[in-house]
């Protein structure tokens, strides 16, 4: 068994890290992998779940939204709960909560029951993510933190990529219940191994009476309202009473939450950390990485499903390219992180990711595995170079309470970036597709051969001259082709927009210049 004293000695001595700590940490990474995987593994099987539980099509996305809302709330509370319960105990509790909620989801016989258990799943799963990255700086000495961060990063970044493959295989081979049942055995094993080997930290039960419960409520209302707004906004073209009400709720609750977090002696979210320029810039990069990672994982399966008509399993097999690239570059990124200027690694990582995103913006309706191969490779190579240096720079100088708060906030920024990134590209798809349809129809009627090529029509009749009257049967044949071409153009704009934002983010690199006077550890300030 690995106790607190053993962990403390490993931080101070040059002895090898005990194998028990590595086993416990790997178990924690598996728990984090399951929590992240559970978003994408369900995404590829929503139609099956909807059919089985008779969920209306327009309500089906709540299966995902409920999880994401609870997840960001759980992440935001992790810093305080770590102090209240201790790192090891909180991880075991969150992991077991996630596992039991998975069983509840599998046994659900109705929409409302499923949503309740998805909320519990998301809340517990959300806490697991920052706990793992916090553990890197608590249980490992400085010389092994890069390796530990690399291991955690691989697990965190592979989960969204493998999700469609695993979900597609389970859906086609078994029933939808197994999407949740697969969490049970690993969840119990993870809790046992992590609970036995990771004993870092001691609970501070007295802090319960100082916890800002009003701040918790305000943060929960703001984050829930923001997630719902990001879900409903694109489908409603960002207009209407519902959108207006959600915006008002977010502004009021968010403003009050910020005031509480800045003034309360035990704030729910330590927003004051943003006063540290190095942390603030790296948190911004974490936000952007979430937008790019989740945005790309959202766009690619939709393109392959709606444009290329691939099955969930085929989609997962194509998307596995990104995961393979991540695995290949992980050792190189870990080696370089200790030997190369962090700003150069960030430049390379975000630059590769930007090029990979923009490269996807030249797709046609015929683009498939070969055309998607190199953009995926570029993004896969860039992910670890995006994650490692920013995580290290944001957290390495912090200890104790400050470390827990910073880890929770840093990971919260990545997940918020993911939610906003998905809403951003969804808005482009919703609003630009009708515009492209109208433009393509006008160009086809004018005899534009370029438009005919985009749509996939024979070019013999298109000579830049009006076509004249078109019979209804021809319109019925051409309409789906026009819609498909318009959707492809909208996808291309979404990919390009994300890529341009990534490229522009490189302008912030000068803000990461080293602070004068060295980089002393940052610990919690006495209250």
pLDDT, one tens digit per residue, over 279-301 is: 999 999 999 999 998 889 888 88
Cα–Cα distance for residue pair 123/133, rounded to 1 Å: 17
pLDDT of residue 516: 54
Instruction: Show Cβ contacts of residue 225 under 8 Å, excluding neighbours closer than 6 positions.
Output: 246, 249, 250, 253
> Per-residue pLDDT for 244 more than 90?
yes
> Per-residue pLDDT for 43 more than 80?
no
Give the max Cα distance, the chain: 85
Structure letter (DSSP) for residue 522: B
> Per-residue pLDDT for 4 more than 60?
no
Quote the tokens at residue 457: 């029509």
Quote the tokens at residue 501: 């934002």
Instruction: Indicate the range of 179-193, 282-296, 356-370, 387-401 predicted with least confidence.
Output: 387-401
Cα–Cα distance for residue pair 85/83, rounded to 1 Å: 6
pLDDT of residue 362: 96
Neighbours of 479 (CB within 10 A): 12
269-512 shares the fold of 1-205 = yes
pLDDT of residue 207: 67
Instruction: Indicate the range of 91-105, 227-241, 257-271, 508-522 predicted with least confidence.
Output: 508-522
Contact 331, 455 (CB under 8 A): no
pLDDT of residue 526: 37
Neighbours of 327 (CB within 10 A): 14
Q: Where are the beta strands (DSSP E) in 44-174?
A: none
Give me the CATH code for the 269-512 domain, please.
1.20.1250.20
Q: What is the DSSP string of 473-509?
A: HHHHHHHHHHHHHHHHHHHHHHHHHHHHHHHHHGGGG
Angle at which helices 184-197 and 19-43 pack, to 10 degrees?
150
Cα–Cα distance for residue pair 43/168, rounded to 1 Å: 9
Query: How far does the chain reach from its first CA to its final CA, in angstroms?
Result: 35
Give the mean pLDDT of 361-372: 95
Question: Alpha carbon of 304 to those of 32, 194, 516: distances in Å?
Answer: 27, 38, 50
> Per-residue pLDDT for 47 more than 90?
no
Give percent of the chain with pLDDT exceeding 90.
40
Instruction: Indicate the range of 87-91, 205-209, 239-243, 511-515 predicted with least confidence.
Output: 205-209
Domain 1-205: which CATH number of 1.20.1250.20, 1.20.120.450, 1.10.3720.10, 3.40.50.720: 1.20.1250.20
Cα–Cα distance for residue pair 152/391, rounded to 1 Å: 11
User: What ranges do the domains of the chain cover?
Assistant: 1-205, 269-512
The residue among 197, 203, 191, 196 whose CA lies nearest residue 93 is 191
Query: Higher pLDDT residue, 399 or 524?
Result: 399
> Per-residue pLDDT for 208 more than 80?
no
Neighbours of 458 (CB within 10 A): 8
Summarised one tens digit per residue, pLDDT across range 130-146 is: 889 888 888 888 888 88
């Amino acid at each position: 068994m690995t106790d607190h004293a053993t962990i403390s000695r490993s931080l101070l001595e040059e002895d090898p890290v005990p194998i028990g700590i590595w086993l416990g940490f790997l178990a924690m990474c598996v728990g984090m992998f399951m929590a992240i995987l559970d978003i994408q593994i369900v995404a590829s099987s929503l139609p099956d779940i909807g059919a089985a539980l008779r969920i209306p099509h327009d309500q089906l996305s709540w299966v995902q939204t409920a999880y994401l809302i609870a997840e960001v709330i759980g992440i935001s509370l992790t810093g305080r709960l770590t102090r209240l319960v201790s790192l090891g105990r909180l991880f075991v509790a969150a992991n077991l909560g996630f596992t039991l909620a998975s069983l509840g989801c599998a046994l659900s016989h109705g929409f409302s029951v499923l949503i309740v258990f998805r909320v519990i799943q998301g809340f517990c799963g959300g806490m697991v993510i920052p706990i793992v990255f916090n553990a890197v700086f608590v249980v490992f000495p400085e010389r092994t933190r890069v390796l530990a961060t690399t291991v955690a990063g691989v697990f965190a970044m592979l989960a969204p990529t493998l999700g469609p493959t695993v979900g597609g295989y389970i859906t086609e081979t078994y029933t939808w219940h197994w999407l949740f049942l697969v969490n049970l055995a690993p969840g119990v094993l993870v809790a046992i191994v992590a609970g036995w080997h990771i004993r870092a930290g001691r609970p501070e039960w007295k802090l319960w009476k100082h916890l800002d419960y009003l701040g918790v409520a305000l943060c929960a209302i703001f984050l829930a309202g923001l997630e719902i707004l990001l879900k409903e906004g694109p489908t409603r073209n960002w207009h209407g009473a519902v959108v207006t009400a959600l915006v008002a709720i977010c502004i009021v609750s968010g403003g009050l939450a910020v005031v509480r977090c800045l003034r309360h002696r035990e704030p729910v979210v330590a927003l004051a950390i943003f006063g540290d320029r190095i942390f603030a810039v790296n948190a911004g990069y974490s936000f952007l990485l979430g937008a790019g990672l989740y945005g790309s994982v959202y766009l690619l399966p939709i393109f392959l499903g709606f444009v290329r008509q691939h099955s969930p399993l085929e989609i997962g097999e194509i998307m596995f390219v990104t995961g393979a690239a991540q695995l290949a570059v992980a050792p190189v990124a870990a080696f370089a992180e200790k030997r190369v200027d962090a700003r150069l690694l960030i430049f390379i990582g975000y630059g590769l990711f930007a090029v990979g995103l923009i490269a996807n913006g030249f797709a046609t309706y015929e683009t498939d595995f070969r055309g998607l191969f190199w953009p995926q490779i570029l993004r896969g190579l860039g992910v670890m170079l995006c994650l490692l240096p920013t995580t290290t720079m944001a957290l390495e100088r912090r200890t104790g309470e400050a470390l827990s708060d910073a880890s929770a906030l840093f990971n919260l920024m990545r997940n918020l970036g993911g939610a906003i990134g998905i809403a951003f590209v969804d808005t482009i798809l919703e609003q630009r597709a009708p515009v492209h349809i109208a433009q393509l129809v006008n160009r086809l009627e004018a005899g534009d051969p370029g438009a005919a090529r985009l749509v996939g029509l024979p070019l013999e009749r298109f000579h830049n001259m009006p076509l004249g009257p078109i019979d209804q049967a021809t319109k019925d044949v051409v309409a789906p082709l026009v819609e498909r071409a318009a959707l492809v153009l909208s996808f291309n704009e979404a990919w390009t927009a994300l890529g341009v934002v990534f490229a522009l983010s490189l302008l912030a690199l000068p803000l990461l210049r080293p602070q004068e006077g060295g980089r002393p550890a940052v610990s919690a300030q006495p209250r």
